[in-house]
Amino acid sequence: MQPINILTSIAAPLPLPNIDTDQIIPKQFLKRIERTGYEDFLFYDWRRIQDGPDAGKPDPTFVLNKPEFSGAQILLAERNFGCGSSREHAAWAIAQFGFRAVIAPSFADIFFSNAGKNGIILAALSEAEVQTLIERCTANPKHRITVNLEAQTVSDEQGFQAGFPMDPFRKHCLLNGLDDIGLTLLHEDKLNAYESQRQNAFWLDPKPLNA
């Protein structure tokens, strides 16, 4: 995982609540067995004209198709971003497209976890703060936002300043690009002790020997 700390970028506003992972990456791209190559499938249907003679062509009105937002590393959305399916493909697609942070009033639990494992900062600000940023970035696509993970702040050059909550351990992992599995295995002695202490608890075995 790529370490991340301070990020300054233009931001793509997607002012909708409850953006679900089916929209972030539609099902047909979940058949692949690779972990990379998802960038072109991000918001696949929303990026395309759905009907009429131009069906299937890029929809020029969709924010990620607008040249002025090209290169944005920050995505702005409304509450409950990432709800629905547990597909980590959603986090892969967002990261591989080039986003390193999503700013929204709230995030769904499983997406929140998946994003953390893929070096994406999720900054939860208040509804009003997010609206301010959405308005500024919509009015001026060149408007730059800074996300500072260490300080847990979001700011801009017009005096906007807001803090966001961040679990200290998650922050530590993001700052250092740490692999969770390796960290857990540092506690392997505890794990071995736990397993031997409950080895007679057959009711916790999927396939107990006395079945």
Partner 1 sequence: MSTSTPRTLFEKVWQQHVVTEPAGEPTILYIDLQLVHEVTSPQAFEGLRLSGRPLRHPERHVATVDHNVPTTSIADRLVIADQIANAQVGALRKNCADFGIELFDVQDADQGIVHMIGPELGLTKPGMTVVCGDSHTSTHGAFGALAFGIGTSEVEHVMATQTLPQSKAKSFLIQVEGGPNGSLPAGVTAKDIILDIIGRIGTDGATGCVIEYSGSAIRALSMEGRMTVCNMSIEAGARAGMIAPDDTTFAYLNGRRYAPKGAAWDQAVAHWRSLATDPGAAYGRELHIDATRLAPSVTWGTSPGMVTSIDSSVPTLDQARSEADQKSFARAYEYMGIRPGTPIQEIKVDAVFLGSCTNGRIEDLRAAAKVVNGYHVAGAVRAMVVPGSQAVKRQAEAEGLDRIFKSAGFEWREPGCSMCLGMNPDILSPGERCASTSNRNFEGRQGRGGRTHLLSPAMAAAAAITGHFTDVRSWNFKS
Residues 6-25 contacting partner 1, CB under 8 A: 15-18, 20, 22-23
Residue type, 121: I
Question: Would you call 163 exposed, middle or buried from its count of C-beta atoms within 10 A (0-12, 13-18, 19+)?
Answer: middle
- In the complex with partner 1, the residue whose CB is nearer, 9 or 113, is 113
Residue 169 binds to partner 1 (criterion: CB under 8 A): yes
Residue 194 binds to partner 1 (criterion: CB under 8 A): yes
- In the complex with partner 1, the residue whose CB is nearer, 15 or 141, is 15
Residue 166 in tokens: 């961040």
Residue 151 binds to partner 1 (criterion: CB under 8 A): no
Q: What distance in Å separates the CA atoms of residue 79 and residue 103, rounded to the nearest whole number?
A: 10
User: In this structure, is the dihedral angle defined by the CA atoms of residues 18, 21, 60 and 106, taken in order, positive or negative?
Assistant: positive
Residue 78 binds to partner 1 (criterion: CB under 8 A): yes
Residue from 40, 167, 176, 177 that binds partner 1 (CB under 8 A)?
Answer: 167
Residues contacting residue 85 through CB under 8 Å, at least 6 positions apart: 20, 21, 22
Residue 168 binds to partner 1 (criterion: CB under 8 A): yes
- In the complex with partner 1, the residue whose CB is nearer, 73 or 118, is 118
Residue 131 in tokens: 């609206």
Residue from 73, 96, 118, 146 that binds partner 1 (CB under 8 A)?
Answer: 118
Residues 49-68 contacting partner 1, CB under 8 A: 50-51
Residue 196 binds to partner 1 (criterion: CB under 8 A): no
DSSP labels for 77-131? E-SSBTBS---THHHHHHHHHT--EEEES-B-HHHHHHHHTTT-EEEE--HHHHH
CA angle 75, 129, 158 (to 5 degrees): 85
Residue 119 binds to partner 1 (criterion: CB under 8 A): no
Residue 28 binds to partner 1 (criterion: CB under 8 A): yes
Q: Residue 103: which of 118, 83, 81, 135 has the closest Cα?
A: 81
Which residues contribute to the site for partner 1 (CB under 8 A)? Answer: 15-18, 20, 22-23, 26-28, 30-35, 45, 50-51, 78-80, 83-89, 91, 106, 108-110, 113-114, 117-118, 127, 167-169, 172, 180-181, 183-185, 187, 190-191, 194-195, 201-208, 210-211
